[in-house]
Structure formats: C-alpha cells, structure tokens
Structure 1
Amino acid sequence: MHTKESLMKQLEELKIKKEGTLLVHSSYKSLGVVEGGPDTVLDALSEYMKDGLLVLPTHTWEYINKDNPVFDVKNSPTNVGILTELFRKREGVIRSEHPTHSVAALGKDAEAFVAGEYKHETPCARESVYGKLVDRHAQVLLLGVDFKRNTYIHGVEEWIDIPERVTDTHEQLFSILHTGEKVEVPSRRHYGLSWSEHFWKVEELLMEEGSLYKGKLGDATVLVDDAAKTTELLTELLQANPDLFSDNEPLEEKWRTFFHKK
C-alpha cells in the first residue's frame, strides 16, 4: 500500500523540482492502493511542491459548448478525473477562469499564474497558462496517462499556426468569475478530430533527445516532460513537417533522425 511518505519519496526519485512549476495530468486508479485514497495523493503532491507551484487541469471542454455555454469557476465540475475535481475545491487552490481549459494552481505565484485566462479566445493561447509553463521551464507529470493527454502540445501547434487545429469562427461562451461577474468569452474551439490522439508518435524521439523520461509513482508508469525543451524540439519539427500529427501512423524514419542529421 502506498502512503503520502512513499509517494513523496518517489517524487524525489523522479527528480521533480520542489521549487519549480509542476503540471500533473493524472489517472488516479493507475496508482494502485493508496492509504487514504485520492486525498493522500493530493497531500503528497501539495506538500512536496510547497515551495513551488502545483498545477492540475480542471477542464470542462467536454460539456461547456454553444448549447451549454456558461462556465462557473466556483461550481463547474472538471471532466478530467477525480484528482482534478478534488484539487480545485481545496483550501488555497485558485482556479483559472477560462470556460473550457481552466487549471487550478496552489503555491508560489498561483494567483498571478491563473489571472485573466477568460480573456483568451483559444484554448491554449501563448499568453495563457500553457505558454507560461514554457516560460517557467515547468515539468509536466503524466501520471498513469500517456503523451496523448499532454494538453500544452495543442498550444505548440496553435502558436506556430498549424492549419485546422482551432476553428476560424467563435462560439459565444461565458465565464462566471470569482467575483461573480458573468463575462462573454468568444471562443475558437479545437476541431472535432482530437489531434492529441496522435501525440504518442513523438514519445520515443523526445526520450532520445532528453526532454522526456519514464519513472514510477505508486504502481503507475509516469512520464516527466520538460515543457521548454519539448516545445523547442516540437516547434522545429512541426515547422519542418506541419502534418506531423495529422495521422496516427508511426513516425517515419526521416523524422526520427531529424535532429541527428543537424
């Protein structure tokens, strides 16, 4: 059985930077049996990162749309797992106000990190929290989930304007802010096809280039991603091959050796 102490020891073994920024995408059930359940996992992450910034996605893209357009930062449940739903309700945690791609943050600079997210018209704008992950040289912990769940990679494609990733037209969404004010948020959405299902293609390449590595937390296999280095590598690769994630086929050999030839 895993405990808060054993999980914290594993986080240290994973070389998670205690004073840095950590974004966690998670599958709670992948951890196995944890004494105290999901709250223990959040206790371990929160205590380990007490001198840094802990961030979990609290997305609502699955059900906030033109037919159900109102996001309430205090009350709208997440659609990305039990750890995220419990985390957003914790004391001291601050949730951002983007209607579909909010995050919740705890710790150093949390309020500044999440401020003004409702002002962005796309899910992963460069000025949003997803761009800030890169600027802060954050680590992304993919806990029991694979690279397909790594949201900011959508941002990388958005920032270099890969075609057909976000709609040209806007949906009229709304956010109810922490102040209680209801604001309009005209939103360009991701296209229906989930390009993220193709992100697995670059896992091995990123491991070879040193921006991604594997480890364990509880019973779960985890990936630890260097957001800045991965962004640098994928930006270069996508500029050379904009269709990189347009199919679900394994990476062609010429792209596997792309960086080796330079």
Structure 2
Amino acid sequence: METNIEKNVRTLIGQKAPGSVLIHSDLMQGFAVEFTRGGKEKFIADHNDKLSLLFGNISIYQPTFNYKFLPEKKTDVRNRRSEVGVLSEYFRKNVADWYTKDPVFSFSGKGPYTYNEPVKASGPEIDPFGDTSFFNYLYDQDTLLFHYGSEFKHSTVLHYIERKLGTVPYRYDKIFEGIVVDGDEEISVRYKYHVRPWGKHLDYDWDKIIADLVNENILYKQEENNTRICFCSVREMTDFLFTKISGDPLYLLDKETLQWVAPSLDKLGRAFTKSDFE
C-alpha cells in the first residue's frame, strides 16, 4: 500500500515525465520498508522494487563511485564495489545492464546504453566532469536527479557545473596516471581530477543553494515521518546555477570558505594552482 508521500512523489514525477533518472540513496530515510532481523538483502531489494515501480520503464542510473584508483593507480571496472551506498551496490550487481569505465566517477544503468564512453583506448586524458563525461550525458538527456533519502548536498553534479564554467578560482586540477582494467583489456589513462585546496576548509552554502532552487520551482522536496525525498531536472539546475556562478564565481561557497578564499584570491590576483598548496 502506498503512503501519502509515495503518492505525492508519483504525481510530481508523472507531471515532469522524465526519460531517465539518476538516483542517489540513503535507505534509512527512503520510503517506509519493513526491516526484519537478518533480512538486509530483502530490505535493499524491497527499496529497489519500490523505485522500479515508481519510475516504470524509464532508464535508471545509479552512481557506483569508487575512489581507490587515486591512491592505487589501477581499477578493475567489472569487480570494483560501489562506495556510495548499499542500494547502488545492489543495483550494480543485480539490476544494471551496463556500467561506465570512468576510474572514479562511474555509473551503472538499466535501459538503453547510448553514452559515448571516452575510456576506449590507451592514452586518453579523462575529465570526469567535462564535455565527454557521463555528467554531460545526464545534462543532454535532461535526466531527473532524484535524492532518495540522501541529502541534496551530496549532489556531485555541482562539480560538473563548475567545470562547465571552464574553471572556478578556488579549485585546481591534478593529473593521476593509471590503468583501467576491463576484462582482458588494460587501458592507460591520464585522469584530470578537480580538487579542493589541500588542507583547507572548502564547502558550499547548501542552505542558500537549496532555497534558491526551491524558490525558482526547480527543486522539489517532500518529507513525511522518516522519509525524505528531493528531486530536480539536471538541466534546469545546471542552467540556473551556471548563471549564478557566471555572475559571481564564489556564489556556491559558504561563509567559512569565503573568509579565507576571497582575500587569498585578491592577494594572488589569479585563480589557485596546485603549487599554491602542494
């Protein structure tokens, strides 16, 4: 039996009629699902079933991010575990039809695979937030970003929006060279990682960002008892926040970050570089 929040979310999703959805999850604040002692796998499967019913036949994507490539310089795309939640790992192993080969910001999906994967041959420089990234694919598809119990502040799409600007002055790039293993194939890659200044506080003003998106009718929030849901169009969110940071490159940053970033940038008269911190 559907709860009120499930009905409300279903209605709103129907009005938006997305062709695909990216799900970030935290099952402890998802839809109401009974957990019985020793029934962890069924608990996860029941959440997956609820989401499958909610979205019907549209393409479903989930992040399967794994950060071990950065220190280890090697990743096996067929066997690496998702480090971003039990539902995403369950989806990767039991539901997904395909996966992407990105060394860190990988995704798995159910539905047609039309993404032009950039990790194809030895030697490419991979930008996980650039024009050939899966994030750009989400933008082109106008995918629905759906936070199922998880907090909106975990939206990695913000890094794609920053990269879309070309560069933001408070981040810099580092290159990690390594090997992507896919079955019998080993692909050498140079990974262009968008990093925050080493040893410094850097965070976003999420309360402001969320309030602005809600006020513009871009972000929809639904809460009931222990269930927390929010969602928006990737394209609408990107276009709105891109306009904001185009006018003010420091728009996204919280007050604690601004207190040191703004005067440091003024003193340098340029954007940060790796040599400023490492």
TM-score of the aligned structures, taking structure 2 as reference length: 0.76
| Change beyond 3 A, Cα 1:158–1:229 | same
Q: Indicate the residue corresponding to 1:240 in structure 2.
A: 247
| Change beyond 3 A, Cα 1:162–1:86 | same
| Change beyond 3 A, Cα 1:164–1:189 | farther
Q: Indicate the residue corresponding to 2:115 in structure 1.
A: 113
Q: Indicate the residue corresponding to 1:150 in structure 2.
A: 155
Q: Indicate the residue corresponding to 1:29 in structure 2.
A: 28
| Offset of residue 218 of structure 1 | 8.1
Q: Indicate the residue corresponding to 1:138 in structure 2.
A: 143
Q: Indicate the residue corresponding to 2:273 in structure 1.
A: none
| Change beyond 3 A, Cα 1:191–1:77 | same
2-structure distance, mates of 1:209, 1:114: 32
| Change beyond 3 A, Cα 1:123–1:201 | farther
Bigger shift: residues 87-96 or 8-17: 8-17
TM-score of the aligned structures, taking structure 1 as reference length: 0.81
| Greater radius of gyration (CA) | 2
RMSD: 2.8
| Change beyond 3 A, Cα 1:120–1:15 | farther
Q: Indicate the residue corresponding to 1:221 in structure 2.
A: 228
AA matched with 1:156 = I
- The question of whether the paired residues in 2 share the 8 Å contact of 1:27 and 1:144 is answered with yes
Confirm whether residue 75 of structure 1 aligns to residue 79 of structure 2: yes
Structure 2 gaps, min length 5: 35-41, 259-278
Aligned residues: 242
Bigger shift: residues 206-215 or 219-228: 219-228
| Offset of residue 86 of structure 1 | 0.8
- The question of whether the paired residues in 2 share the 8 Å contact of 1:94 and 1:105 is answered with yes
Three-state SS of the structure 2 residue aligned to 1:112 is coil
Superposition map of 1:93-108 within 5 A: 93-107=97-111
Q: Indicate the residue corresponding to 2:214 in structure 1.
A: 207
Bigger shift: residues 146-155 or 240-249: 240-249
2-structure distance, mates of 1:120, 1:45: 35
Confirm whether residue 176 of structure 1 aligns to residue 181 of structure 2: yes
- The question of whether the paired residues in 2 share the 8 Å contact of 1:27 and 1:143 is answered with yes
Q: Indicate the residue corresponding to 1:43 in structure 2.
A: 49
| Change beyond 3 A, Cα 1:208–1:87 | same
- The question of whether the paired residues in 1 share the 8 Å contact of 2:202 and 2:257 is answered with no
